[in-house]
Structure 1
Amino acid sequence: MQVRFEDVTMRFQDNTVLDKINFTLPSKQLVSFLGPSGCGKSTTLYLISGLLEASGGKIFFDDRDVTKLDPVKRQVGLVFQNYALYPHLTVLENIMFPLKMAKMPKKERRERAEEMARLTRITDQLNKYPRQLSGGQQQRVAISRALSKSPDTLLMDEPLSNLDARLRIEMREEIRRIQQETEVTTVFVTHDQEEALSIADRVMVLDKGEIQQISDPVTLYQRPNNLFVAKFIGTPIINTFQRSSVALNPEAEIFNQEWELIGIRSEQFRLADESDYLIKAQVQRIENVGKETTIHCVAGEEHFVATDIEANISENDTIYLKVKGDLLLFDQDNNIIESSGDNES
């Protein structure tokens, strides 16, 4: 099912959390809402669910106006950060609960619950209580319960934030598998870019109640709309250089174009020589973590990092660098102008 917002605004007293936002979520895809705390991503999810009513604008499920529709009638499944399982009910009873509320016959709701348990791979846990389960198992129960109603849309609000790092990776892979098997339109809210980029078909980046960009993960990384998106996506954070930067070679061809700031990903740097370089700097520190080597560089008061450089470099060395791939150019309002294309600068 397609979800569409038309000029949707959300205010809490004098605070405008969302201001006339417009977007369309494609049917049968997994879309991540990504952004810093307070950007409006959870608010947007709750507007879809009906738990919040918009202050203005319209919300559509396909061509159906659901702006004023009761949450129960919206046919959505919800998975919360804290799972919200009933501690006095078994796993099976938790999964069946919404079906019981819908007055589905007992035999049918048991069959449906067992089907969902097979999908989420918790059939061996059906007689246990939530307190007897791990965090990952509890999450699977919550997903099973949300899917038991055969929702048109599955909404997940930071569902992995309470899990440890290894379990988070396992569960995000499971969520992706489940979404692909069920083909239910899924919204996944997170502030963790790695989660969003690893499982989503499309990512919607928000900041201060405004949509900054909606695109597939690769485009989001390689072609950000503005400096906020460029900085929010990618680890290490993108390196930026003002036009007046002392690190830049004043003879470089890039100065023949109009721009105020350059963005360069750390893995794009390559060693150059003094006759043909874009950036000159001194090696401040070399950091080795496993197979990853990060070179911390300094030029005047500016600091930046380079990765994936295979060379014999030592601390305090002066190095000359060029760039492989896109140079992201931003104007004075921090909006993207263009990228330089696939070349070496």
Structure 2
Amino acid sequence: MQVRFEDVTMRFNDKVVLDRINFTLPSQELISFLGPSGCGKSTTLYLISGLLEATSGHIYFDDQDVTKLDPVKREVGLVFQNYALYPHMTVLDNIMFPLKMAKVPKKERVETAKRMAELTHIADQLDKFPRQLSGGQQQRVAISRALSKSPDILLMDEPLSNLDARLRVEMREEIRRIQQETGVTTVFVTHDQEEALSIADHVMVLDKGEIQQMSDPVTLYRQPKNLFVAKFIGSPAINTFTKTSPALNPQASLAGLNWTTLGIRPEHFKFTQVGQHLIQGVISRIEQVGKDITFHVQADHEHFVVSDLNATQLQAGDQIYLTADLDHIQAFDAQGQAVSLNDSAGAITDLQESVSQVEEADQAHE
């Protein structure tokens, strides 16, 4: 099922949490809402569920306006951060509970619950109580219960935040598997970019109640629409330089183009010769974790990070000169919006070629 927001605003007293946001969530995909704490991602999730009512605007499921529709009638499944399992009920009874409330016959309830337990790999835990389960198993019970109603949309609010690192990786892969097997439109709220980028078909990045960008994970990383997205996505974080950065070579052709901030990811730097460099600095520290080597580089007061350089001979204190391919350099204007370097770079190239042609003509004439 497709979800569509049209000019949706959400206010709590005088505070605007969401400001006239518009988006469409594709049907049968896994979409992550990603952003810092307080950005509005959980509020958006609860507006979809009906647990919150929008201050203004309209919410559609396919072509049906559900803005005022009761949550029970929206046919959504909701998985909370704390799982919200009933401690006095067995796993089987927890999964069956929504069906019992819907007055589904007991035989059908049991069959459905067992099928959901098979899907989430907890069929051997049906007689246990929540306190007897690990965090990952409790999460599977919560997902099974949400899916037992055959919802059109599955909503998950920070579902992995209470798990340890190893279980988080395991469960996010399980969530992806379950979504692909069921085909249910799934919304996954998280502040962890690794979770969002690793399992989602599309990621919607929010900040301060506004949508910054919504795209597939690869586009989000390679073509951020603004400086916030560029800085928020990626680990290590993107390196940023201004026209006055001490690391920037003022004689480089890019220095004369129309931009305010340049962004270069650590893995996109390449060695070059002095004079042909865009960025320079002195290695202050070398960090190695397994096969991954990260160079921390200093230029006066400015610090940036370089990785994936095949240079085991480098040592702290070495001066290095770096550049990057134009396609791997991201540029932003004074408002933090992405700008293209290709047009300006092309104009400079054309000018340089014209100057060269004039010089060659003068030499020939002499």
Q: TM-score range by the shorter chain?
A: over 0.9
2:307 equivalent in structure 1 = 307
In the TM superposition, 1:223-242 aligns within 5 A as: 223-242=223-242
Q: Which runs of 5+ in 2 are unaligned?
A: 346-366
In the TM superposition, structure 1's runs of 4+ consecutive aligned residues that sit over 3 Å from their partners are none
Q: Deviations over 1:326-345 (max 9, x none)?
A: 1101000011002559x9xx
Does the residue aligned with 1:112 lie in a helix, a strand or coil? helix
Question: Which residue of 2 is the match for residue 171 of structure 1?
Answer: 171
Cα pair 2:34 2:205 within 8 Å, conserved:
yes
CA apart distance, 1:115: 0.4
| Separation in 2, partners of 1:319, 1:6 | 51
Q: Partner amino acid for 1:334?
A: G
- 1:320 is displaced (CA, Å) by 0.5
Trace 1:94-113 onto structure 2 (pairs within 5 A). 94-113=94-113
Structure 2 SS opposite 1:103:
coil
2:240 and 2:261 in contact (8 A); partners too: yes
Q: 1:291 deviation in Å?
A: 1.4
CA distance in 2, matches of 1:69, 1:82: 26
Offset at residue 271 of structure 1 (A): 1.2
Distance 1:291 1:162 in 2: 30
For 2:317, give the aligned amino acid: N
Tell me the matched-pair count.
Answer: 342
| Cross-structure match for 1:85 | 85
* Kept after mapping to 2: 8 A contact 1:50/1:69: yes
The question of whether the paired residues in 1 share the 8 Å contact of 2:249 and 2:255 is answered with no
Contact between 1:328 and 1:340, CA under 8 Å: does it hold in 2? no
Root mean square deviation of aligned Cα = 1.1
Do the aligned partners of residues 339 and 87 (structure 1) sit closer, same or farther apart at CA in structure 2, a change above 3 Å counting? Answer: farther
2:329 maps to 327
Matching residue's letter, 1:251: Q
What's the secondary structure of 1:22's corresponding residue?
strand
Whichever residue aligns with residue 293 of structure 1, its letter is I
What do the CA deviations read for 1:118-165 (whole angstroms, capped 9, x no partner)? 100100000000000000000000000000000000000000000000
1:149 and 2:149 matched: yes
Give % identity: 70
SS of equivalent residue, structure 2 residue 39? coil
Q: Please list the CA deviations of residues 270-308 of structure 1 after superposition, one character each: whole Å capped at 9, or x if unmatched.
A: 111113111110000001111111100000110000001
- Is the CA contact 1:326–1:339 (under 8 Å) kept in the aligned structure 2? no
Q: 2:349 corresponds to which residue? A: none
Q: Who is 2:261 aligned against?
A: 261
SS at 2:147's partner residue?
A: helix
Cα deviation for residue 84 of structure 1 reads 0.3
Q: Offset at 1:58? A: 0.4
Normalised TM-score (structure 2): 0.92
Contact 2:257 2:341 in 1 (8 A): no
Q: Deviations over 1:12-68 (max 9, x none)?
A: 001010010000000000000000000000000000000000000000000000000
Secondary structure class of the residue paired with 2:306: strand
Cα offset, 1:253, TM superposition: 1.3
The alignment partner of 1:54 has SS state of: coil
Following the alignment from structure 2 to structure 1, what is the Cα–Cα distance between the partners of residues 342 and 205?
Answer: 24
> How do residues 210-289 of structure 1 correspond to structure 2 at under 5 angstroms?
210-289=210-289
Task: Name the residue aligned to 1:337.
Answer: 339
Cα offset, 1:245, TM superposition: 1.1
SS of residue matched to 2:246: coil
Normalization by structure 1: what TM-score?
0.98
Task: Give the equivalent residue in structure 2 for 1:127.
Answer: 127
How far off its partner does 1:243 sit?
1.1
Instruction: Summarize the alignment of residues 184-195 of structure 1 with structure 2, pairs less than 5 Å apart.
Output: 184-195=184-195
Q: Is the 8 A contact 2:157 2:189 kept in 1?
A: yes
Q: Can you give the 5+ residue segments of structure 1 that lack an aligned partner in the other structure?
A: none
Give secondary structure in 2 for the equivalent of 1:258: coil
Going from structure 1 to structure 2, the CA distance change for 1:340 and 1:130 (only over 3 Å counts) comes to farther
Residues 247-274 of structure 1, C-alpha deviation per residue, up to 9 Å, x if partnerless?
A: 1111111123200110000000111111
Q: From the two aligned structures, give the one with the greater helix fraction.
A: 2
